[in-house]
Amino acid sequence: MFKAIFTNSFGILFSRILGFIRDLLTASILGANVYSDIFFIAFKLPNLFRRIFAEGAFSQTFIPSFTRSRHKGVFAVYIFTLFLSIILVFTLLVNLFPAIAAKSIAVGFDEKTIQEASVFVAINFWYLPLIFSVTFMAALLQYKNHFATTAFGTSLLNLALILALLLAKGSAPKEVVFYLSWGVVFGGVLQLVAHIVALKKLGLCKILIGGLKHLRTKKQSIKNETSTFKKEFFPAVWGNSTAQISAFLDTWLASFLSFGTISYLYYANRVFQLPLALFAIATSVAIFPKVSRYLKNDDHAKAKAYMKKAFWFLTYLLSGSAVVGFVFSHEIVWLLFQRGAFNTHDTLNTALVLQMYLIGLLPYGLGKLFLLWLYASQKQLKAAKIATYAVIANVVFSLSLIKPFGAAGLAFAGTLAGFVSFFLVVKEFGTKEFLSFLRSKHTLLLLLYTLALLTVSLFVESSLPQLGISP
């Protein structure tokens, strides 16, 4: 378990570092102008569909269904061809009517800019069928407990974009966007090739070839399995859309506040997402196939023992990250962002927003862990209902806290919604089972660990100004 978690975490960290380099190069070579906005808009649309449709919802529904299938090859090929066909038709429509697609996400652009953006929207959208194919293959690799290829796969996209920027250096902004757009497609191709090689090495290509051969003759035998998959997939789509909806809500509400508020939320959330991705998401992805397999074999005891290990592992890491991040929020924001137009006032505001986010790091991260139990148990509809309640809570808290507390209020509203989601997920998992996790020597150790970490952090933080390190 831990080997898979560390593989995922290191892959995510490596990709984030390359992503940071990519962002620096983009700002340096392309700058901040209408063409940079055009590229971000062009890439945002397929990326949005990837996050909502391909990655989370597909993997969380496919792996449990594939695990339970009696004709795995046939089932996998059928689902892949069905979804890829839909995505390809959608991609062709976007390429035929790119201006409509551009207008749907960039409402504020004038007609001339929409026409310029539409060309790049059409190119970038070819990333979607490529990354869906990668997601499908990644799910098969996860079933075989192979995580390295997918963990480091995103780095290939960042490398492709870095290469595109270096090749485009010195070119006109519009030409730079062309290079970047084709860099996105090339990055998708690289990810696809890497996953095909991994599938071949693990012998999974034989399963798919066999499934393709017997698809016609055995299609009826998987009818119930595919029907169940389709019923579970759409609730999973909604469950995975709520985070995007909440982010959109925060941005929309922040637009009514003073200038800079949206940026405070964006930069603080970037920092908050790092421990969440490195620990919570990496752990959930790593243990999901095993938990699905145990539940499929009705071995609930082993599944819960596995969950308990992951629970305490995550609790220690997320608690430590939350304490250190909260105490050093000012220093973290200063180190990462305070330069140029980003001044001391911006650092103070962003640090406060980051603190509000970090209060919810532990429940938010653990909530993702317990959500995988619902998905592995094929309770996607329950997970979707919980996600709906969390969105409603976020709306209520945001509207209540925005006026008195501004950006910090919006961040804290998201944290409170995270607590709501966590309690509902734990209730569905089993309150007694959860309390049995807490009846452990780890509870006292965690308390001592948190107090020691808080004491040391406060001492170090108070010493920093004397050393001239803190702003």
Token pair recorded at residue 445? 């150790």
Task: List, in sequence order, the alpha helices (H) in 430-440.
Answer: 431-438
Contacts 24+ apart (CB under 8 A), 463-469: 464/331, 469/331
Average pLDDT over residues 257-262: 69
Question: 391 with 335: CB under 8 angstroms?
Answer: no
Question: Residue 379's pLDDT is what?
Answer: 84
d(CA 206, CA 139): 16
Sequence-separated (6 or more) residues with CB below 8 Å from residue 76: 66, 69, 136, 140, 207, 208, 211
Contacts of 169 (CB under 8 A, 6+ apart): 29
- Mean pLDDT over 272-279 rounds to 85
Q: Is the model's pTM score more than 0.75?
A: no
Question: Band of the pLDDT at 460, cuts 50, 70, 90?
Answer: low
Return the closest-CA partner of residue 75 out of 226, 224, 200: 226
Average pLDDT (196-221) is 87
Buried b (16+ CB within 10 A) or exposed e, 84-120: eeebeebbeebeeebeebbbeebeebeeebbebbbbb
Please give the span between the terminal C-alpha atoms of the chain, in angstroms, as a whole number: 41
In this predicted model, what pLDDT tens digit does every residue of 358-416 receive, in sequence order? 999 999 899 888 988 888 887 888 888 898 899 899 999 999 998 888 888 989 999 99
> Side chain identity at 47, as an amino acid letter?
N
Q: If pLDDT is split at 50, 70 and 90, which confidence band does 255 have?
A: low
Task: Express each pLDDT in 152-175 by its tens digit.
Answer: 888 899 999 999 999 988 888 888
Q: What is the CA radius of gyration of the chain?
A: 23
What is the 8-class DSSP label of residue 241? H
| Least reliable range by pLDDT among 38-47, 406-415, 430-439 | 38-47
DSSP letter assigned to residue 440: S
| 203: helix, strand or coil | coil
User: Residue 190: its pLDDT value, please?
Assistant: 95
DSSP 256: T
Retrieve residue 368's tokens.
Answer: 């993702």
Neighbours of 414 (CB within 10 A): 27
Average pLDDT value for residue range 122-130: 92
| HEC per residue, 70-118 | CCHHHHHHHHHHHHHHHHHHHHHHHHHCHHHHHHHHCCCCCHHHHHHHH
**Per-residue pLDDT, 298:** 82
